[in-house]
Amino acid sequence: MGRFDTERKEMIEELKNKGITDANVLDALAKVERHLFVDPMFVNKAYEDSALPIASEQTISQPYTVAFMTQALQLKKDMKVLEIGTGSGYQATILATMGCRVFTIERHLSLLNNARKMFDKLNLRVAAKGGDGTIGWKEHAPYDGIIVTAGSPTIPEPLMHQLAEGGRIVIPIGTKEFQSLAIGIKIKDKLEVKEVEGFKFVPLIGKNAWS
């Protein structure tokens, strides 16, 4: 048994009790060692269902939020996914563990470099770059899924364009303090969106979001 295996199993039970049903998502969260992605100071809290501080005044999202957003994308193996906000690299690792081809963008280069080291160490299929994710990553578009892990006032226009027909986007939308999760599916070049209330993220800062 590895360190924290019991805690990780308990976290999965908690996520099931909170309504996460996608077996691929639950399998990935059961495999990925979240304690490797948190600040060593908070390692004993790694399997609590809460967001935790990381460097550059950012956060690693709450496991329930990671699971809920990933489930909303309805992903299958080999699908191409763009993540905006690499942070610790945990969400990208979940996506890669599910067999997706992952592209991720982070504006803080120190976070990006740490996450890249982790992707290399874990031998994952993740392409990561530094920069403003609100303009997307055109070279690899279209994407079957786009996940934005920071809160935006609206859905950035370039991300809508870079989504494949039938593709899904999940993004927190609202004020800087509180957001709803917008879950959109692109049908005939238009986005059909539903919103789920009650989330809180750090702000998405860039050309097509907060300044």
Active site residues: 61
Considering the complex, state which of residue 85 and residue 145 has its C-beta at the smaller distance from ligand SAM: 85
Size of the site for ligand SAM (CB under 6 A): 25
* Residue 191 and residue 166 in contact, taking contact as beta carbons nearer than 8 Å: no
* Residue 179 and residue 202 in contact, taking contact as beta carbons nearer than 8 Å: no
Q: Which two tokens stand for residue 81?
A: 């996914």
Residue pointed to by tokens 């303009």: 135
* 116 near ligand SAM (CB under 6 A): no
Q: Determine the Cα–Cα distance for residues 146 and 191; give it in Å rounded to an integer.
A: 13
Cα 27 → chain centroid: 16
List 88, 114, 162, 179, residue binding ligand SAM (CB under 6 A): 88
Q: Is the peptide bond before 172 cis (omega within 30 degrees of 0)?
A: no
Considering the complex, state which of residue 106 and residue 144 has its C-beta at the smaller distance from ligand SAM: 106
Considering the complex, state which of residue 24 and residue 86 has its C-beta at the smaller distance from ligand SAM: 86
Give the shortest CB-157-to-ligand SAM separation in angstroms: 14
Interface of this chain with ligand SAM, residues 32 to 71, rule: CB under 6 A: 58-61
* 145 near ligand SAM (CB under 6 A): no
* Residue 104 and residue 128 in contact, taking contact as beta carbons nearer than 8 Å: yes
Residue pointed to by tokens 């997706």: 100
Per-residue binding string, ligand SAM, 92-111, x by CB under 6 A, is -------------xxxx--x
Stretch that binds ligand SAM, among 4-12, 87-95, 180-188, 189-197 (CB under 6 A): 87-95
Give the shortest CB-115-to-ligand SAM separation in angstroms: 8
Please say whether the dihedral angle defined by the alpha carbons of residues 207, 208, 209 and 210, taken in this order, is positive or negative.
positive
Residue pointed to by tokens 């599916």: 185
Considering the complex, state which of residue 24 and residue 65 has its C-beta at the smaller distance from ligand SAM: 65
* 150 near ligand SAM (CB under 6 A): yes
Q: Determine the Cα–Cα distance for residues 81 and 70; give it in Å rounded to an integer.
A: 10
DSSP single-letter state for residue 195 = E
Question: Which residues bind to ligand SAM, rule: CB under 6 A?
Answer: 58-61, 84-85, 87-88, 90-91, 105-108, 111, 132-134, 149-150, 201-202, 204-206
